[in-house]
Structure formats: C-alpha cells, structure tokens
Amino acid sequence: MTPLKRDNVRLKKHVAELRREVTALTRTSRELLAKVTAVVATKQAEVATERAATLRPTSKSLVRLRRRLDLTQVEFGRLLGVSGQAVLNWRARAAGFGCAARISRPLRASRRWASVRPVGG
C-alpha cells in the first residue's frame, strides 16, 4: 500500500470516529436539554404560584385581566367566586375593595391565575 493510500485510510477512520463523537454529543445535548427544560418549567410554575399568592389586585388590574382573558363581568365573577355585580362595583370603585380577602383566596388557589402573566408588567 502506498503512503498516500495509508494516509487516506487513516484520515477516513479519523473522520468516522469524529462523526461518532458528534452523534454521541448531540444525543447527550438533547437529553440534557429535555431535563433542563422540565426543571425550568417547574421552577417557573413555582415562582408564578408564589407571586400569585402575594398579588394585591386593584380595580384597574382586574379590569385589564378580565379583558385580556376575554371574559364578561359575570364570567369573571364566577371564576373568582363572586357575583357579576361585585365585578361591576369594582369597576366603578364603589365597593372600595372591602372584599379583597375574598378575591385573593381563590386567586391564590387557582392554577389558572398562576399561569397568567402579571397585567402591569
């Protein structure tokens, strides 16, 4: 075998070895990405839940949220466990948020609330 052919064979073997390494690294990268994505999603859900527990709703933020969710006042009231009239009162600021504790309780418990981005931010 001539030296040129030997070098060619040696280089082809080296290229095949490098391809195997790249394939193994790609597989490992995908596995790690899947694990990291799951951990990040879990952490984001935890942070959103903690943040939802400390939110203090205002009439403006509730109106924006209701509109963003495309709900009527009655539907929004049902979601929060209050009447449609209560939602109307918040809009008019007639109620003055004396029932903030009743609003916050279902919001903290609701997973749906935790997945909604903050309205003001």
**CATH code of the domain in which 82 resides:** 1.10.260
Count of structural domains, the chain: 2
Question: pLDDT band at 81, cuts 50/70/90?
Answer: confident
CA distance from start to end of the chain: 72
Residue 83's contacts (CB-CB under 8 Å, 6 or more residues apart) are: 77
In terms of domains, do 11 and 50 share one?
A: yes
Region class of 96: left (phi > 0), else alpha (psi between -120 and 50), else beta: left
Overall average pLDDT of the 65-84 stretch: 87
Question: Containing domain of residue 61, as a range?
Answer: 56-114
In terms of domains, do 32 and 76 share one?
A: no
Question: pLDDT band at 121, cuts 50/70/90?
Answer: very low
Higher pLDDT, 61 or 113: 61
Higher pLDDT, 96 or 1: 1
In terms of domains, do 60 and 47 share one?
A: no
pLDDT at position 99 = 54
Residue 119 lies in a domain: no
Q: How far apart are CA 79 and CA 75, in angstroms?
A: 6
Tell me: the pLDDT tens digits for 12-63? Answer: 999 999 999 999 999 999 999 998 998 888 888 888 888 877 777 777 888 8
User: The whole model's pTM is what?
Assistant: 0.38
Within 10 A of 52 (CB to CB), how many other CB atoms are there? 20
Residue 121 lies in a domain: no
